[in-house]
């Protein structure tokens, strides 16, 4: 029995270690290749640092400071707007009673099923007719609401007893006062969860940028990385340097706030 257990244990650890390697190798390669020249990138085993390593790949990304700035700008505004629209919508869906409420929410949930490509042509026409084509505002408005965020906050609001609002209502407080003074301060954790999910979403967002941005000086970081795909001569070093820049902020965010990430996903799985 003990022998069988040891065998089982070793097998489990072997699986875990091999999978860790599978997960880590691409990340390790991005980190190390960013500092290597084109020849040494392909050397196996991949060295952490060689005598020829340096910052030269980053220096070749001359347009990327602008891309990074664009990404920061769009991500910031989108995330703030997400928080606002998701929390007010969630309040309307849980703590206010009105006709058609549940039907509309089901419609919201069903829209998660639609791939963006299905609606992109008319959406593109709407954006164009609003005069927003080739602007950051297009990305910000197209992404101004979030079903997932609304759902998460709604799940939390449902746990708040109605009596909490009821006494304030009897005292004649306006719903907005109740929302801002009583409900929102209780929702800090779920708001933080929505914040990091939205940050990750917009920092990585690619398709809308691809469709709505035409000028090179407007490109966000993920769209900027397509510069490489179009190039005839492929240099891998600068590509990896760009990939590194794109993954570092979310990695820092993830490892410092992973509790929120994991809670957010786990609670989206619990039926509500």
Partner 1 sequence: MKTKTLERASWPTVLSFLLPGFTGFLLFVFIPMISTIGVAFTNYSGGPRWKFIGFRNFQLLLESSQFHQSLLVTLQFVFFTVLLQMVLGLLFAMLLNQGFRGTTFFRSLFFMPNVLSAVGVSLAFSLLFHPSQGFANQLLGILGLPPNTWLTSSDTALMSIIIVTLWMSFGYYMIIFLGGLQSINPALYEAASIDGANGFHTFFKITLPMLSPTMFFAMTMSIINSFKVFDQVFMMTGGQDGGGPAGSTNVVVFDVYQNSFKNYKFGYASAESLLLLLIILTITLIQFRNQKKWVTYDL
Residue 55 or 248 with smaller CB distance to partner 1: 248
Segment 77-96, which members bind partner 1 (CB under 8 A)?
84-86, 88-89, 91-92, 95-96
The smaller minimum CB distance to partner 1, of residues 13 and 76, is found at 13
Residues between 127 and 146 with contacts to partner 1, criterion CB under 8 A: 127, 141-146
* Smallest distance from partner 1 to CB 209, Å: 10
Instruction: Tell me which of 179, 183, 193, 195 binds partner 1, using CB under 8 A.
Output: 179
Contacting partner 1 within 47-76 (CB under 8 A)? none
- 254 binds partner 1 per the rule CB under 8 A: yes
Report d(CA 75, CA 198) in Å as an integer: 8
- Answer for which of 194, 211, 213, 218 binds partner 1 (CB under 8 A) is 211
End-to-end Cα distance, the chain: 43
Tokens of 23: 């997960």
Residue of 7, 14, 18, 23 interacting with partner 1 (CB under 8 A): 23
Of the candidate residues 42, 49, 69, 76, the single one contacting partner 1 (CB under 8 A): 42
Q: Whole-angstrom Cα distance, residue 152 to residue 148? A: 6
What is the separation of C-alpha 221 from the centre of its chain, rounded to a whole number of angstroms?
A: 13
Q: Give the H/E segment covering residue 187.
A: none
Q: Rounded distance, CA 7 to CA 20, Å?
A: 20
Handedness of CA 3, 8, 13, 15 (dihedral sign): positive
Options 48-56, 57-65, 116-124, 182-190: segment touching partner 1 (CB under 8 A): 116-124
Interface of this chain with partner 1, residues 216 to 235, rule: CB under 8 A: 221-222, 225-226, 228-230
Residues in Cβ contact with 38 at an 8 Å cutoff, skipping those fewer than 6 apart: 235, 236, 237
Give the CA dihedral 175, 179, 181, 187, nearest 10 degrees: 160
Query: Which region among 53-61, 62-70, 99-107, 183-191 touches partner 1 (by CB under 8 A)?
Result: 99-107
- Cα separation, 195 vs 157, in Å, equals 16
The residue (of 56 and 235) whose beta carbon lies closer to partner 1 is 235
Containing H/E element for 54?
none
35 touches partner 1 (CB under 8 A) = no
Q: How far is the CB of 134 from partner 1 (least distance, A)?
A: 14
């Amino acid at each position: 029995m003990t022998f069988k257990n040891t065998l089982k244990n070793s097998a489990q650890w072997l699986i875990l270690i091999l999978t860790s390697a599978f997960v880590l190798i691409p990340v390790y390669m991005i980190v190390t290749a960013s500092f290597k020249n084109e020849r040494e990138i392909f050397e196996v085993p991949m060295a952490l640092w060689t005598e020829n390593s340096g910052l030269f790949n980053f220096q070749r990304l001359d347009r990327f400071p602008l891309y990074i700035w664009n990404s920061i700008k769009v991500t910031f505004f989108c995330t703030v707007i997400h928080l606002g629209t998701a929390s007010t919508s969630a309040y309307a869906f849980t703590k206010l009673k009105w006709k058609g409420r549940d039907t509309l929410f089901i419609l919201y949930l069903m829209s998660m099923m639609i791939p963006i490509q299905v609606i992109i042509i008319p959406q593109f026409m709407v954006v164009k007719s609003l005069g927003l084509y080739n602007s950051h505002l297009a990305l910000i408005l197209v992404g101004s609401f979030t079903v997932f965020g609304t759902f998460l906050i709604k799940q939390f609001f449902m746990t708040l007893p109605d009596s909490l609002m009821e006494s304030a209502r009897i005292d004649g407080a306006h719903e907005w006062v109740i929302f801002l003074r009583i409900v929102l301060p209780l929702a800090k954790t779920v708001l933080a969860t929505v914040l990091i999910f939205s940050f990750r979403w917009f920092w990585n967002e690619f398709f809308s940028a691809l469709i709505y941005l035409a000028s090179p000086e407007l490109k966000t970081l993920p769209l900027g990385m397509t510069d490489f795909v179009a190039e005839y001569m492929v240099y891998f070093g600068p590509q990896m340097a760009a990939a590194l820049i794109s993954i570092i902020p979310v990695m820092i965010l993830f490892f410092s706030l992973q509790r929120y990430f994991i809670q957010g996903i786990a609670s989206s799985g619990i039926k509500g």
